[in-house]
């Protein structure tokens, strides 16, 4: 009999006499620590009682064992990570639509409810993984700024969604990868090439086409919601949100894998909730929605936002970051579709042009980073 345990050879004596030499190897994919009893190549079992099942499978005999030599492992579903990305984009877009539908709730209060949902989800994970609530001493400053900047990005984005067209705010947020490359060059000394500069200029051009400042486009600006002052405030909020989100990516890259991602989300939710509560009392905006419909929307925003994060995380676990970043541009497509169908607001050609510039910029950045990671992986193999 073969006791699978690595490539080391050892003689295993049988109870009734001698057996041929066998090799020992562990089934590293089993994760159970159970040895796998399989017939040695060219050795026949003496009786039916010797035909044992493999400990790494669900009761299958050796010829059908998933870990037996020459047997292929079950392949993962192709494209599942990209499907998760599209589903995440759809959930985020629907949550943004519900945010537009809320009438009497301030964006800061919506953010507070979102933080409560985040905390309720993360708390069991912190207890299960025993990460603690403060994190390593040397990383707490980074975690604090990650939480502060991340929650600020969420609040500003929600404000932008409320005061400007849904598609416009969504498109501006997609310039985040470009700003991430720029900030990583400044603070982490990462390489910043001429291509990165070109993508940055494309993103800025797209934002200008969406904002349409009067000194470039005149005073008669069409295709906006409400006054141009609100549109400009929303644009500034969306840009600031994008830069804040890019800053959190740089901080997370600096921290690396030394901090569990649940702890990172915990800081995001706690600091965000504290900041939202303080801001609401200062602005005297804290109140429960008068309409039952708004309360339902608040719950759905929390649930859909959490679902979007879960599926995006799962996508990044089983798919490379480059394809995920490219597929995430479906956020823009869903935003345009939902805006036309449910908000009865047709985007202008300026918005479409700006969207093309920003999507081309973010996609180009993602493709370039993806190719660089593949090239680096090949070099490491050599």
More confident residue, 40 or 286: 286
Model's pTM, two decimal places? 0.71
Per-residue pLDDT reduced to its tens digit, 105-157: 888 888 888 888 888 888 888 888 888 888 888 888 888 998 899 889 989 99
The number of residues in the chain equals 382
Q: What's the gap between Cα 34 and its chain centre?
A: 35
Question: Lowest mean pLDDT: which of 5-14, 61-70, 209-218, 295-304?
Answer: 5-14
Cα distances (angstroms) measured from residue 18 to each of 7, 13, 339: 21, 6, 77
Per-residue pLDDT reduced to its tens digit, 306-358: 888 888 878 877 777 667 877 888 888 999 999 999 988 888 888 899 889 98
Q: In sequence order, what are the residues at sequence separation of 6 or more whose Cβ sits closer than 8 angstroms to the Cβ of residue 272? A: 111, 112, 114, 115, 118, 147, 150, 151, 154, 155
Rounded distance between C-alpha atoms, residue 245 and residue 192, angstroms: 19
Q: What's the gap between Cα 354 and its chain centre?
A: 24
Per-residue pLDDT reduced to its tens digit, 278-287: 988 888 877 7
Whether pLDDT at 234 is above 80 = yes
Rounded distance between C-alpha atoms, residue 92 and residue 302, angstroms: 10
Mean of all residue pLDDT scores within the chain: 76
Residue 28: band (very low, low, confident or very high) from pLDDT cuts 50, 70, 90: very low
Whether pLDDT at 34 is above 70 = no
What tokens appear for 35 in the block? 């040895």
Residue 53: band (very low, low, confident or very high) from pLDDT cuts 50, 70, 90: very low
């Amino acid at each position: 009999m073969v006791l699978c345990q690595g490539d080391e050879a050892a003689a295993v004596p049988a109870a009734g006499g001698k057996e041929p030499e066998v090799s020992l190897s562990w089934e590293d994919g089993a994760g159970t620590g159970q040895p796998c009893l399989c017939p040695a190549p060219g050795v026949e079992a003496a009786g039916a009682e010797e035909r044992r099942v493999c400990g790494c499978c669900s009761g299958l005999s050796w010829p059908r064992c998933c870990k037996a030599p020459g047997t292929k492992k079950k392949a993962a579903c192709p494209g599942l990570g990209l499907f998760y990305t599209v589903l995440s984009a759809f959930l985020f877009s629907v949550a943004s639509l519900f945010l537009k539908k809320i009438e009497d709730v301030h964006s800061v209060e919506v953010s507070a409810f979102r933080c409560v949902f985040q905390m309720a989800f993360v708390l069991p994970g912190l207890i299960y993984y025993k990460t603690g609530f403060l994190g390593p001493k040397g990383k707490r400053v980074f975690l604090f700024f990650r939480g502060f900047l991340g929650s600020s990005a969420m609040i500003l984005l929600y404000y932008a969604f409320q005061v400007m067209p849904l598609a416009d705010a969504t498109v501006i947020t997609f310039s985040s990868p470009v700003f991430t490359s720029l900030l990583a060059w400044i603070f982490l000394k990462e390489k910043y090439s001429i291509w990165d500069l070109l993508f940055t200029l494309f993103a800025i051009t797209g934002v200008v086409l969406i904002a349409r400042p009067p000194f470039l486009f005149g005073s008669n600006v069409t295709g906006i919601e409400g006054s141009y002052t609100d549109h400009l405030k929303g644009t500034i909020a969306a840009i600031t949100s994008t830069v804040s989100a890019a800053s959190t990516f740089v901080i997370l890259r600096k921290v690396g894998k030394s901090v569990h991602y649940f702890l990172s989300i915990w800081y995001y939710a706690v600091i965000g909730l504290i900041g939202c509560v303080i801001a609401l009392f200062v602005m005297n905006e804290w109140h429960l929605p008068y309409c039952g419909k708004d309360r339902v929307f608040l719950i759905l925003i929390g649930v859909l936002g959490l679902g979007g994060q879960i599926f995006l995380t799962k996508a990044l676990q089983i798919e490379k970051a480059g394809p995920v970043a490219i597929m995430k541009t479906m956020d823009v497509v869903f935003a345009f579709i939902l805006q036309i169908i449910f908000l009865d607001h047709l985007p202008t050609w300026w918005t479409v042009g700006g969207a093309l510039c920003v999507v081309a910029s973010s996609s180009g950045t993602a493709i370039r980073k993806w190719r660089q990671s593949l090239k680096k992986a090949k070099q490491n193999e050599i």
